[in-house]
Amino acid sequence: MVTNKKKLSLKDKYQYLTRDMAWEPSYQSKKDIFPQEDFEGIKITDWDKWEDPFRLTMDAYWKYQAEKEKKLYAIFDAFAQNNGHQNISDARYVNALKLFLSGVSPLEYGAFQGYAKVGRQFSGAGARTACQMQAIDELRHVQTQIHAMSHYNKHFNGLHDFAHMHDRVWFLSVPKSFFDDARSAGPFEFLTAISFSFEYVLTNLLFVPFMSGAAYNGDMATVTFGFSAQSDEARHMTLGLEVIKFMLEQHEDNVPIIQHWIDKWFWRGYRLLSLVSMMMDYMLPNKVMSWKDAWEVYYEQNGGALFKDLERYGIRPPKYQDEANKGKDHISHQLWSTFYQYSQATNFHTWIPSEEEMNWLSEQYPDTFDQYYRPRFEHWQALQEKGERFYNTTLPQLCQVCQVPTLFTEPDDPTKLSLRTLEHEGERYHFCSDGCCDIFKYEPEKYIQAWLPVHQIYQGNCEGADVETVVTKYYHINAGQDNFEYLGSPDHKRWQAIKGQKPAEPQAAKPKNAA
Partner 1 sequence: MSIEIKTNSVEPIRNTYSNIKRRFGDKPASRYQEASFDIEAVTNFHYKPLWDPERTLNDPTRTGIRMADWHSVTDPRQFYYGAYVQNRAKMQEATEHSYSFCEKRGLITRLPEALQETLLRFLVPLRHVELGANMNNSGVAGDCIAGTVTQMHIYQAMDRLGAGQYLSRIALIIDGGTGEALDRSKTYWMDDALWQPMRRLVEDTLVIKDWFELSLTQNLIIDGLLYPLMYQEFDQWLDRQGAADVSMLTEFMRDWSKETVRWVDAMVKTVMAESETNAVQLQAWVDQWEPRAYEALAPLADASMGREALDAVRAQFATRLKKLGLNSQGVQA
Residues 154-173 interacting with partner 1 (rule: CB under 8 A):
154-157, 159-164, 166-168, 173
**Structural contact between residues 89 and 217, judged by C-beta atoms closer than 8 angstroms:** yes
Name the DSSP letter for residue 369: I
Which CB sits closer to partner 1, 164 or 251? Answer: 164
Binding mask 477-496 for partner 1 (x = CB under 8 A): -------------x---x--
**Three-state DSSP class for residue 416:** strand
Judged by CB under 8 A, the residue of 41, 49, 51, 58 near partner 1 is 58
Measured between alpha carbons, how far is 71 from 69 in angstroms, rounded to an integer? 5
Which CB sits closer to partner 1, 112 or 339? Answer: 112
| Residue 464 binds partner 1, judged by CB under 8 A | no
Tally of CB atoms within 10 A around 141: 22
| Residue 112 binds partner 1, judged by CB under 8 A | yes
| Residue 74 binds partner 1, judged by CB under 8 A | no
| Residue 177 binds partner 1, judged by CB under 8 A | yes
> What is the residue-wise DSSP string for 243-312?
HHHHHHHH-TTHHHHHHHHHHHHHHHHHHHHHHHHHIIIII-SS----HHHHIIIIIIIHHHHHHHHHGG
Residues 6+ apart with CB under 8 A from 276: 205, 206, 209, 210, 291
Judged by CB under 8 A, the residue of 36, 203, 381, 384 near partner 1 is 36
Within residues 123-152, the interface with partner 1 by CB under 8 A covers 125, 128-129, 132-133, 135-136, 139-140, 142-144, 146-147, 150
CB of 320 to partner 1, least distance (A): 22
Judged by CB under 8 A, the residue of 102, 153, 277, 472 near partner 1 is 153
Pairing mode, if any, of strands 420-424 and 427-431? antiparallel
Q: Which of 430, 442, 434 is nearest to 409 (CA)?
A: 434
Binding mask 362-381 for partner 1 (x = CB under 8 A): --------------------
Within residues 183-222, the interface with partner 1 by CB under 8 A covers 183-187
Which CB sits closer to partner 1, 50 or 365? Answer: 50
| Residue 231 binds partner 1, judged by CB under 8 A | no
**Structural contact between residues 18 and 126, judged by C-beta atoms closer than 8 angstroms:** yes
φ and ψ of 427, to 5 deg: -110, 150
Which CB sits closer to partner 1, 125 or 454? Answer: 125
Judged by CB under 8 A, the residue of 11, 41, 51, 67 near partner 1 is 67
Give the per-residue SS3 of 394-408: CCCCECCCCCCECCC
